[in-house]
Amino acid sequence: MLQKYEGIVLYTVKYSDKSDIVHVYTRQGGRMSFLLPVRRSRQSAVRQVLFQPLSILGIEADIRPRSSLHPIKETRASYVFRSLPYHPYKSAIALFVAEFLYRVVREEMPNELLYHYLASSIEWLDVCEKDFANFHLVFLMRLSRFLGLYPNLEDYSPCCYFDLLDACFVSGPPSHGFYVLPEEASRIRTLARMNYDTMYLFRMTRADRNRCLDVICTYYRLHLPDFNELKSLPVLQELF
């Protein structure tokens, strides 16, 4: 049965000579997988060029109840990018964010709040003209709320450690070894205070930014199963 969806492209992988598999987070059905036909004609109803990381698309697909792969019949751009695919730094962020979401967003039920957060964040990055170097840090910090992983940031003091397993500040180093030293723990509170419009006020060096990203990825890895190494992470750290 043909059904229409709006979705965000996460990851595409080759399936056969005639089709690819594209993983999409949809407004109506959560995480879904579609069969994308490999066609080169510009007149095709399904154009592969639209399926860039984080593209926001309208998709009409043949939904088959007993299958996890649904053939795409037609696509269109729900949001037309102004700069994101063409800007080298923004496209690196998009590649990383798309891969990250592919690893962590697994739910197959609709979540309107999460979808709105993802779509509005993508659109913000696309139209932003400067001072977006901290975007991925703010994005991942706020994403944790939607996944039920937001840390407890109460009871902070300058001498506190941050326990990555229990997601809270503690007075001494935990015995399990997964923690952040006091001199770095304050950055977690700083990240929580940032939003897209104010993050340019919080200056970071490349080393600071990469350390924050390492800590965030470790935190997600400890709390989510099957969180594998991200191929796009070294590229992002080199650029930012």
Transcribe 61-115 into DSSP letters.
EE--TT-SEEEEEEEEESS--SSTTTSHHHHHHHHHHHHHHHHH----S--HHHH
3-state secondary structure of 128: coil
3-state secondary structure of 170: strand
β-strand 168-170 against 161-163: which pairing, if any?
antiparallel
pLDDT of residue 75: 93
User: Tens digits of per-residue pLDDT, 175-233?
Assistant: 999 999 999 999 998 999 999 999 999 989 999 999 999 999 999 999 998 888 899 98
CA–CA dist 110, 79 (Å, integer): 20
User: Tens digits of per-residue pLDDT, 225-240?
Assistant: 888 889 998 888 888 7
More confident residue, 35 or 17: 35
3-state secondary structure of 215: helix
User: Tens digits of per-residue pLDDT, 139-169?
Assistant: 999 999 999 999 999 889 999 999 999 999 9
User: Tens digits of per-residue pLDDT, 24-69?
Assistant: 999 999 999 999 988 655 555 566 779 999 999 999 999 988 888 9
3-state secondary structure of 227: coil
Other CB atoms within a 10 A radius of the CB of residue 130 amount to 6
Both tokens of residue 192? Answer: 């929580």
Both tokens of residue 98? Answer: 């798309």
3-state secondary structure of 26: strand
Contact criterion met (CB below 8 Å) for 232 and 96 = yes
Contact criterion met (CB below 8 Å) for 94 and 104 = no
Give me the residue label for tokens 């001494």: 172
CA–CA dist 141, 136 (Å, integer): 9
